[in-house]
Structure 1
């Protein structure tokens, strides 16, 4: 068996997403030698796909506009988002989060990350949502740069396969690289930060059920590897049945200018100045390049009479009754949203938007026509529209005719050309189940005792905290990463 002989790290971090990189940085700033093992060829993980908001109290941006906000107020307001899930929340972790996320935000600012805001999001009592510029890739860019400055050893294309357990504690990780196994020993601790398990169909089936298991993952490599490493040494998953979604989202474009923007500080500052100073009409087209790429179509489309069809041209579900659960059962796991000329006009202006990023802007049908020609199709007849999107014309015509005999209450049916197909859309899911952790981010066994030498962060270590509301998932990822990295670094060397 091959051995890793370049360094003898104090701390090993599994995963180079936002939580893993922050864990590595925190441990390295204490003066520890840190090794990061990442199975993908590039860092960033799910963080690169996030909308990019981070919610925090007591921020410099709040203070600059006269907002006095406290972690205690944030703690109380977070609970207002949870609804029926409040009883499932872990208040100890929620308190740890709100008390530490202000320092997380400040550290990001010190690394050169640029935000605009804060933006309001009720029921937050004050604006707390800070949105990153130019896009969410700025986080991984800044974190990776800082980690390298500190001398963190980041090994890409290294997939962790099992934890090394000796003398009653976790002492290292066995990983695979280029088809060969490698053993890495950690003198102080191991931090698991491998993201969620949304791409692990069997794990989704076990914890969340068959319908969730069929939904796609936003990130195909979120296969729950880190969860499984901990389960193998006696850990347990909390809230495994809770998921974000499934959500119907448009398939992403192959090329998009906004997501390709380099995550430079200069560009971010230029964008921030432009958003504050330039007329909305000038900057809106650039915002729309982002907005029409990553967000979900709103339910109000279906309430107003739009329907969903599959690639056979058939309507397959009640669009207002969780159709996202039915889409994975359709051919190619895809569907199209069908509108007519009346709906097209309606969804061309406020308040009838197709999608939105909270506190940023709203995207209407003309924005999709302009920015997403790959998913926007229009024709003067249903037969022509069917040919354009590759479904049987006769079937689509019959589907719409049958719907028009009994349209959704309060709507006239799909009668007026031109007819429009948006899509395809697919059903995406993010899992919320994480390893049970203590407030010190120690991974706990099924009996509630800490597993010595093992820590977890981000989605891997979500541990029962409920993260409803924008900006809490990223805030938790970064903050729990910091706390886990610090705890592992300060652990007595084995």
Structure 2
């Protein structure tokens, strides 16, 4: 990598990371009148927010009131230990209060930005419906927030990777050393820095450090989630909380389509999302279902219960491979090409065509069955009247399919292979220790002056189980970190020199 010396650029607040939490922090600080620079190492904004399902869980929203749901952030907070289960003692209840207290405000702020939702939906163990699902998908967050950031005057630098936090003689964070698209390193001075670079589930080093060696070769949904912000913060004394329980078992997902449905490519502007919301609420189910199914079969994963109901999981050789008690994600990851297929006979095809035996589900929105996949994702389906024809169509060896069919008790056709399915890691919940004001803490529990963190980077011990909590935390923590950094920047001295 080439390096060059240049005069230090200067801003009030510097944000590292261009996902939901970083954009929220940058917008908030800029709208308070601060000069803001946002660094994103990818070629576009989005982060893990752009890969998410898109639901936000919040209490006390207008959506709940319109649905006749009486709820409060206090009741939401009281439900959080039920999500954490046996790990409730590891959760950060002070940050849980921050999350639940401000989640409804974050939904209102997003709607003010142009984002539209449909809901609310139930998800036990929540005692009340709290899930708000974005329309048409999570790309709406980035579409609207990137435009709001531009209007607010945020200076976005894409293809720029933060490498090192810069400290003044008193230990205060005074900027960042970054590598730009040209491969040259340069320094950017700032009165305050907000770290919002996501989690570390794509980091081989962090996986090994926290005891997840068995996941080092499993690809991440967001390949840029390499923990750069956690690493830089630890270099100045910060600590990671709950790293030992950060990674869950790997997930498994269908391969994405080569082309998205046309309506998922439409800009998520208010007239379109309002029409979608109206249609989903008022159209007869027979008319609305094709649209909903196109989303469900595009974005989601097969359910594990299919194997318990008699479907088989095979590799490219047509062979079943799961060991006794082996987790599905780990088993798929062991196969050539990290690929597997659901294999079923005529009896299972009928079984998986009706409730409650669905192939996939969008939380509280819809359920997709075999017929939905054959209609909307023919690229995933190889169907044939007998095993010989299935082998010819799929390219899998006939002996492997025959042996699996015999072991599974398959009898009559038609037979179906559904896939490929790939193992992936999605999130790592080990974030930096932070105060309720999102100040980054050192090993002694003292704030690192001038340094804040948000989103997965600033998760601070929150467990965030259940749908909708990660995104809610991204926007809640991003807005709070941006506001607190903005206010601290007014009091901080201007930075002229930094220790590089």
TM-score range, shorter chain: over 0.9
Aligned-partner Cα distance in 1 for 2:40–2:6:
17
Question: Once the 2 structures are TM-superposed, how far is the Cα of residue 319 of structure 1 from its aligned partner?
Answer: 8.0
Structure 1 contact 163–174 (Cα < 8 Å) conserved: yes
1:452-472 deviation line (CA, Å, top 9, x unaligned): 111111111111001111110
Aligned to 1:471: 468
1:245-286 deviation line (CA, Å, top 9, x unaligned): 411111111111154232221110010010111111111111
Please, what TM-score do these two structures have when normalized by structure 1? 0.94
* 1:23-102 equivalences in 2 (<5 Å): 23-102=25-104
Aligned-partner Cα distance in 1 for 2:283–2:325:
39
Structure 2 contact 212–247 (Cα < 8 Å) conserved: no
RMSD of the alignment, in Å?
1.6
Question: Once the 2 structures are TM-superposed, how far is the Cα of residue 427 of structure 1 from its aligned partner?
Answer: 1.1
Question: Once the 2 structures are TM-superposed, how far is the Cα of residue 391 of structure 1 from its aligned partner?
Answer: 2.5
Q: 2:274 aligns with which of 264, 269, 275?
A: 269
Aligned to 2:195: 192
Structure 1 contact 10–493 (Cα < 8 Å) conserved: no
Q: 1:9 aligns with which of 8, 11, 15?
A: 11
Aligned-partner Cα distance in 2 for 1:292–1:341:
21
Secondary structure at the counterpart of residue 135 of structure 1: coil
Aligned-partner Cα distance in 2 for 1:4–1:387:
65
Question: Once the 2 structures are TM-superposed, how far is the Cα of residue 388 of structure 1 from its aligned partner?
Answer: 2.8
Secondary structure at the counterpart of residue 378 of structure 2: coil
Aligned-partner Cα distance in 2 for 1:230–1:489:
20
Aligned-partner Cα distance in 2 for 1:319–1:40:
40
Structure 1 contact 18–478 (Cα < 8 Å) conserved: yes
Secondary structure at the counterpart of residue 78 of structure 2: helix
* 1:8-407 equivalences in 2 (<5 Å): 8-167=10-169, 168-177=171-180, 178-187=182-191, 189-240=192-243, 241-257=245-261, 258-318=263-323, 321-401=326-406, 403-404=407-408
Kindly tell me: are residues 261 and 245 of structure 1, through their superposed partners in 2, closer, same or farther at Cα, counting changes over 3 Å? farther
Runs of 4+ aligned structure 1 residues displaced above 4 Å come to 318-321
Secondary structure at the counterpart of residue 378 of structure 1: strand
Number of matched pairs: 483
Aligned-partner Cα distance in 2 for 1:385–1:128:
45
Secondary structure at the counterpart of residue 42 of structure 1: coil
Structure 1 contact 214–329 (Cα < 8 Å) conserved: no
Aligned to 2:498: none
5+ residue gaps, structure 2, are 494-500
Aligned-partner Cα distance in 1 for 2:41–2:350:
47
1:40-61 deviation line (CA, Å, top 9, x unaligned): 1111111111111111111111
Q: 1:483 aligns with which of 476, 480, 484?
A: 480
Question: Once the 2 structures are TM-superposed, how far is the Cα of residue 243 of structure 1 from its aligned partner?
Answer: 2.3
Aligned-partner Cα distance in 2 for 1:225–1:287:
37
Please, what TM-score do these two structures have when normalized by structure 2? 0.93
Secondary structure at the counterpart of residue 420 of structure 2: strand
